[in-house]
């Protein structure tokens, strides 16, 4: 919990961590109103799915250019501008009066999400380098905390009786705190690196990190979408427990991220990825035993294992020799987000053609692959050092 204490007692670290929370507070507040927007616009699920695709498209469109913009603006200033863009575009989807305006609104909202995601992860990477302090994992813990705050905000629906007022309240919360703390990091710029011509040996670690990011975030997306159905259909859990797997996953994910920095400082980045993968493997083995309570415990263990991996990948990606930190972060974000979107779809196809047990067995195999990849990562880092 040292990194959490560091964030809570030092404005230099709290500011970037609050940027992480801000992203999920506003995204989560929008997500609460998705059913309402669908009903008001009179669109079916398939049409809503197409509209939501434009949100993902906005994220993907910004990834290739974000690192250049971040380097041009300076990583601290880019993070602050990303927050302003997010606050501005968060209103658009709730103002939509047709499918076309909703799709456009989600595209711009997604673009702001993607830009802030890359800039804030790069910012934390640069502060860690400069201060020799680790707080990336705890910052991702603040992202999870932002989701919790957005969830609690759902109780305000009856208070505001207006989606716009609710979102404006969320924006006010996000913006007021960022206004106080952004001065602590706005001046920060990425440290210059020694430019090198393209070399496969420099790209190889990023490629390995991208594979791990794709698999882990794909698995996260699968658990978010399919854990409830697994408990219902495979373990025959009562209705009151259908959401317990997801809840356990989220709780351990949040707690693990607040503990991850201290463990990383002690054993190193690659070893903590290997440790996280090992815990996730144990979790999937519990899930596949198909007993309700063991499966719930398995989802919780999987959340604990995954909690430390993605923050660590951003940390490693931002420190690859010969690659600018913003480029490394953008690559990890792009491959990971691809997995988050594609993973549940692939798992759904497998579940339809075979069974949910088959889907989760494939996930187990993928995490075993991640564990094997850490051996190659260790060798790549040894060769570069």
Tens of pLDDT, residue by residue over 75-128, are 999 999 999 999 999 999 999 999 999 999 999 999 999 899 989 988 998 898
State which fold the 2-184 domain adopts. Answer: Growth Hormone; Chain: A; (1.20.1250)
Q: Do 287 and 230 form a contact (C-beta atoms < 8 A)?
A: yes
Query: Could you confirm whether domain 200-384 is CATH 3.90.1150.10?
Result: no
| Maximum Cα–Cα distance across the chain | 60
Q: How far apart are CA 41 and CA 93, in angstroms?
A: 11
Question: Model confidence over 280-301: pLDDT tens digits?
Answer: 999 999 999 989 999 999 999 9
Each domain of the chain, given as residue ranges in start order, spans 2-184, 200-384
The beta-strand segments (E) located in 244-374 are: none
| Cβ atoms 212, 334 nearer than 8 A | no
End-to-end CA, the chain: 30
pLDDT > 70 fraction of the chain, expressed in percent and rounded: 93
**Joined tokens for residue 117:** 């995601």
Q: What is the pLDDT of residues 320-369, one digit of tens each?
A: 776 777 778 778 878 887 777 777 677 777 877 888 888 899 999 999 99
- Residue 202: pLDDT over 70: no
Are 2-184 and 200-384 equal in CATH topology? yes
Query: pTM of this prediction?
Result: 0.78
Q: Are 276 and 307 in contact (CB under 8 A)?
A: yes
């Amino acid at each position: 919990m040292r990194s959490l204490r560091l964030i809570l007692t030092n404005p230099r670290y709290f500011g970037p961590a609050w940027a992480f929370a801000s992203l999920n507070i506003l995204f989560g507040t929008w997500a609460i109103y998705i059913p309402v927007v669908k009903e008001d616009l009179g669109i079916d699920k398939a049409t809503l799915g197409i509209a939501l695709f434009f949100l993902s498209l906005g994220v993907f469109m910004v990834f290739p250019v974000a690192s250049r913009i971040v380097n041009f603006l300076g990583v601290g200033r880019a993070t602050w501008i990303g927050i302003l863009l997010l606050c501005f575009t968060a209103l658009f989807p709730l103002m939509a009066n047709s499918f076309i305006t909703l799709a456009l609104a989600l595209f711009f909202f997604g673009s702001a999400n993607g830009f802030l995601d890359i800039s804030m992860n790069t910012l934390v990477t640069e502060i860690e380098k400069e201060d020799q302090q680790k707080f990336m994992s705890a910052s991702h813990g603040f992202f999870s905390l932002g989701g919790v705050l957005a969830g609690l905000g759902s109780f305000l629906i009856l208070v505001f009786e207006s989606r716009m007022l609710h979102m404006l309240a969320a924006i006010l919360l996000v913006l007021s705190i960022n206004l106080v703390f952004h001065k602590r990091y706005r001046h920060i710029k990425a440290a210059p690196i020694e430019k090198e011509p393209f070399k496969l040996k420099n790209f190889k670690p990023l490629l390995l990190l991208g594979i791990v990011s794709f698999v882990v975030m794909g698995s996260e997306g699968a658990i978010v979408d399919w854990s409830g159905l697994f408990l219902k259909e495979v373990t025959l859990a009562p209705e009151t427990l259908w959401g317990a797997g997801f809840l356990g996953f989220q709780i351990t994910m949040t707690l693990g991220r607040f503990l991850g920095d201290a463990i990383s400082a002690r054993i190193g980045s690659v070893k903590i990825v290997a440790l996280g993968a090992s815990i996730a493997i144990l979790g999937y083995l519990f899930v596949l035993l198909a007993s309700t309570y063991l499966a719930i415990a398995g989802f919780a263990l999987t959340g604990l294992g995954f909690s430390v991996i993605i923050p660590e990948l951003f940390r490693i990606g931002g420190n690859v020799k010969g690659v600018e930190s913003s480029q490394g972060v953008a690559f990890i974000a792009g491959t990971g987000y691809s997995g988050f979107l594609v993973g549940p779809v692939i798992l759904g196809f497998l579940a339809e053609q075979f069974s949910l047990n088959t889907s989760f067995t494939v996930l187990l195999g993928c995490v075993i692959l991640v564990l094997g990849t850490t051996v190659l990562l260790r060798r790549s880092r040894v060769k570069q050092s």
